[in-house]
Each structure stands twice: as C-alpha cells, then as structure tokens.
Structure 1
Amino acid sequence: MTRSGTDRRLSDDEMASWLPLIRLVQLLPQALDRTLREEGGINHAHYAILVTLAQDAEAPPTLGEIARIAGLSRSRLSHALDALARRGWVERTSCSTDKRTGSAVLTEAGRDMVRRAAPAHVAQIRALVLERLSDDERETLTHLLGKLLPGIESAV
C-alpha cells in the first residue's frame, strides 16, 4: 500500500522496515570503528580515506571525491586529512591541472597502515554482512542500495 508523504505516522509495515535499517546504520559503523581502532588506532572514516587514496588511478581523487566516499563534509575531511598527515599517512597535494583543487596522496607509511588493518576489516565486513547473505540476497542488497543511495546523497 502506497502512503501519502503527508501522513504523520509510518504504518506498521513501514516501521518493520525502517527500524531495523536505522539500527543497522547506527551499529555497523560502531562495530567497524571498534575493530579498526583495535587493529590500527584509526576510525572507519579515516580508514575509508586511506583506502580511497590507495586505489590505483591515473590521477589522485579530488578532495570532493574523497569526502563523498568517506561520508564527510569538506570541513570534516580537511580535519581528517590534517590528522592523517600528522601521523605521516598522507600528504596534501594540489591538482596538476587546477592548482585550486586540492587532493592528498598516500605515503608509504599510509600504505603500510592499510595493509595492516585490511585483513581484520575485510574479515569483519564478511562476518557481519556478506557471509550472512546468499549470493542472490547480496545481489538484491546491491540493487536496493543503488536505488536508495542517489536520493540520500542528493539530500546531503
């Protein structure tokens, strides 16, 4: 049953979908953060930045791209990059084609950090999410997230 956007209350069926989703989006980052902090002294957002920078690409991602992938505002990304630079894991750079566009590159120490933290992080992702779903369920999840994310990303 399709409901009007002006209804003041979610139906029981809508609540049955919404509440577990909210619980998932609250608990999963906490669980990932806990393991990453134990394994490498880093939180999930900072790890996402390092992994993004570790990707082989022709040009480093722009700060805007990194912020989008890490789920951070530009201001929070700037603070995160400063913290990562203090630890020697990244260096800030300017874009070769547009000096006003900043980016960052991973240092060798940053690459080492990703290599150290990745096995536990990947194992946790598999244990908490991926291995709990069949191949068909993972495909369905991918499809559903592809439908939901564009609207959410455009709202932020």
Structure 2
Amino acid sequence: MRYNIDFKLKIIAYYRRGHTGVATAKKFKLDKKIVSKWIYQYQNGGIDAIKPKANKTKYSSEFKHQVIMVMLEQGLSQSETALKFNISSPALISHWHKAYRLYGMSGLTPKHKSRGAMSKPMITNKPDNEKSLAELKRENEYLRAEVAYLKKLDALLKAEEQADRKQGSSKR
C-alpha cells in the first residue's frame, strides 16, 4: 500500500514528539518496520527521502555495483543496505546480488526484454590462463568482496560466542 507524504509526515511528527517507534506504529495501526523505515529515511534524507516515487527508478550498473560492494564489505543486510541507499525494496538488492554473482558486472546492466534465446552465463570453467583480463579482474573483485564478507561474519559469530560465554559464566 502506498502512503501519501502528509500521512508519513504526521507519523514522523508524532514520533518526534517523544513517542517510541513501537508506540507510533500501534497508534496508527502500522507495522513497526514501516514506521522505522520512514523515520530512518527522513532523518537521513529529509522530506525528499519519504516522498512517494512517481515512476520506477532506473539505477545504473555502477550504482548497483556500489550498493552490492558496500553491502558485502560492511556486512549489511539487504534491508539495511536498502535504507542506506534509499532503495524502496530490499528484494531488488537481492536480485542485483544474484545477477552479479552469476554474471559479474554484465549481470547488472539493464537488459531489453526480448523473447530471444537465453544467453549463456559469463562465468566459465576455463583454466585461469585462458580467461581474459576482464574476467580475472571481475572474479578477483568478487572474491575480495566475499572474503571481506566472510571476515565480518566470522567476527560477528565470535562476538556472539563470547557474549554467550560471558552470559553463561555470569549465571553460575
């Protein structure tokens, strides 16, 4: 459901008068995630960030790539990334990430809808000495992002483990 700008501003004003996000959501019978999204967007982008978009936004392949790299390098969820970049749907980021994993940068370029034959994926099983420099660079960039993501995940898991151990020892 789409909400107009006046309604969103009313929600934000209520929240800014000192009410919690949960209380605001209950008062207006909204999901608390929607309320927190509007508040975050307003705080980070002002009134323009909460205005309904008139048309489908077209994102460049460079922008999509930047979004994916930030998500992987900072270990952000798709929802957090969508909020950070003011993208209306986290599912869109999921789609971009999958396309990037399968086809590299070419997966992020807009495709003209046609009923032609499906193109073959860009990832090949050629030995490294037969791959082009561009393919190797793309693969290297993806692997670097993956390593950064895995390091972040490992750090988060270790921190969680330590917190669990700390909590367990304090109960004794």
Same fold at TM > 0.5? no
- In our comparison, the structure showing a higher alpha carbon Rg is 2
Choose between structure 1 and 2: higher strand proportion: 1
